[in-house]
Structure 1
Amino acid sequence: MDRFEYVINLPDLQFSQFCQHQFSLNKGIYNTIDSWFYNNGIIDILVRRKMILQFMKFSSSDETKVKFGSGGLSKKLDDFWNQSIGEIFVN
């Protein structure tokens, strides 16, 4: 099992702690992102976690710290979603 597969299969607490350590993402923001993907049709937890990690990489310039200003999280999620959907239809 490679590291990526290992990480996405962690129990919930450890996965959210990984996100906190890797991206400085607090539990509240993590839950908001997770709920956003769920509410947008990503029901499978493993697929959702992959999307969360892809979103975090998309949102950070140095892949370590992510900051969202007022309204920034929703805009970034929309931008990521629109780009991801476009890539799905192109491929």
Structure 2
Amino acid sequence: MDEFKKIINKTDLHFFRYCEGTFGINRGVYNTIEQWFYKKNIFYVTERRLYIIAFLKHVFGPNKSYGKFGKGNLISKLHEFWIEKDKITTS
């Protein structure tokens, strides 16, 4: 099994720790992101995790640097990502 499949199939705690260690997000931010994608009808856990990683890479870029979302900025970044995702898949 390749490394990426191992990451998305980890337990919830270990997947969160991966996101925390790689992107510097806290549990509250992680939960908000996961809930947001769930409300977008991404019901399967592994699919949702793919979206979470893609979103975090979209926000933080290739540097995987630590960052913070300002008040209200997380949801606006999620909306921005969702629109960009739709543009890419419909092109």
> Please, what TM-score do these two structures have when normalized by structure 2?
0.94
- Over the matched positions of the two proteins, sequence identity in percent amounts to 38
Which residue of 2 is the match for residue 38 of structure 1?
A: 38
Which residue of 2 is the match for residue 72 of structure 1?
A: 73
DSSP 3-state at the match of 2:41: coil
Q: Are the counterparts in 2 of residues 56 and 66 from structure 1 also a CA contact under 8 Å?
A: no
Q: Which structure 1 residue ranges, 4+ long, deviate > 3 Å from structure 2? A: none
- The residue identity in structure 1 corresponding to 2:86 is I
Shift of 1:15: 0.3
Q: Tell whether 2:87 aligns with 1:86.
A: yes
- What RMSD over aligned residues (CA atoms) do the two structures have, in Å? 0.9
- The residue identity in structure 1 corresponding to 2:77 is K
The 2-side partners of 1:78 and 1:29 are apart by 15
Q: Deviations over 1:9-46 (max 9, x none)?
A: 00000000111111111011000000000001111111
Q: After alignment, is 66-75 or 10-19 more displaced? A: 66-75
> Using CA pairs below 8 Å that are at least 6 residues apart, which structure has the higher relative contact order?
2
The count of aligned residue pairs is 90
> Please, what TM-score do these two structures have when normalized by structure 1?
0.94
Gaps of 5+ in 2: none
- The residue identity in structure 1 corresponding to 2:83 is N
Q: After alignment, is 58-67 or 19-28 more displaced? A: 58-67
Q: Are the counterparts in 2 of residues 59 and 66 from structure 1 also a CA contact under 8 Å?
A: no
